[in-house]
Structure 1
Amino acid sequence: MLRVKEVADLVGISVRTLHHYDEIELLIPDKTTEAGYRLYSDDNLETLQQILFFRELGFPLKEIKQIINNPSFDKKEALELHRSMLLEKRSRLDQMIVTVEKTIQHMEGGIQMSNKEKFEGFDFSHNPYEQEARERFGDQAVNEANAKVQRMSNEEQRAFSEQFDAIYKKLAVIRHIAPESDEAQAGIRDWYNFLNNIGNYSLDAFKGLGEMYVNDKRFTNNIDQYGEGLAQFMCKAMGVFADENKK
């Protein structure tokens, strides 16, 4: 059996993380010595591997705990699921690497890229920030949005993506004007209405979403692919929109 420090060194995570998993009863070591040292068995390590696979795929700890504690949980079946999801993730990353390489060549004048080619590899059908949205805005808004998207036909989903893309492109064009200007506020109203067509976002939630665009670099990097500074512009414009419409 291994002590907590040995497990941490073996896996490459912190001792504090293992302590936290124990405290929330996600991974309880099989034994604890009289001196209070946690001792982890091979079964514990197998469970830890499952936890870290789920974490790599973006699952929150609360959901992981529910999954692995379910009597019907099958480790082999879970590993097969991990494999298929990781292969899908690798495929998407490979496509994005190709897109990056082609974009570099395009910038250097070596090739010409169509607008469609510039966004190959991006996949908005899986939202990596869903947990942050749930924690910030509550389950209801996120569940309603997910349910509406899932009910869409392929054609409706394509139209949805095209509308999303059109709004962002329009905002990217005007991102250098004052966020409080009539033109900027009209563009942001389109975004607000779009979100509320698929969910139920209050003005405060809308403003909070804008703040996430600049506070979380993952959001910033994705949004700024439409134009550098777009995330900052949207954050300011969304804040103005929310404040003005609450009066």
Structure 2
Amino acid sequence: MTQYYSMKEVTQITGITKRTLHYYDEIGLLSPSHRAENQYRMYSQQDLIELQKILFLKGLGVPLKNIEEMMKLEDEKLREALTSYQGELLAKIEKLQKLNRHLTEFLEGEALINLDIFNQPLQDQYAKEAEIKYGETPAYQSYQARTASQSNEDFKEVQHRMDAVFEKFNTLAEQQAPLNETQSIVVEWKKVMRENADFSDEVLVMIAQGYEQNPRFKDYFKKFGNSNLPSYIAKHVTHHLE
């Protein structure tokens, strides 16, 4: 005797909703094999197997219009048809893993701006923005020439020296050092900045003011634990270089 399952039982077994089963029936994707005397939909074991295949294909991201055609394929042909979906699935898994890493870093206190949400490192984002804004200027062209041969280690070393300068700025800011006591640190900052490009004093002032005005720069400075640091640097660089 054939075993049939009511719609309620199918929803309990599979976890999908009655509404979804109604919809699959309406579009002809999965119609129940039997109707009870009261016209209730009744599903056979074979119907459940077909539903399992539908849910499998849907989970892979196959559009419903394609699922109907794939349902007609034997397993070997179906395997051939699904080969391309494995690559897409692996890409989705990698994307989700990356998103989970970002979430973990954010929950552990990392600033959102420091996460490579745009699919490229923050430094590369800044570089692209600089190219768009200053690509035709001599300063940017010298920057390109000097950094073209830099290795990742070279870049990290420059960044390390820059962070050391920012730490000194931070100490002075916490001490509320006045303008007449910060010329030497501004000169040191200028020296590190000019290792990458022939920045004029005017451009350096614009960069320092960007620390204060650009929200992403302000987020970068949060790691120094002083929300006033960008404004302090901008004020003192402007005073000594303008």
TM-score between the two structures when normalised by the length of structure 1: 0.47
TM-score between the two structures when normalised by the length of structure 2: 0.48
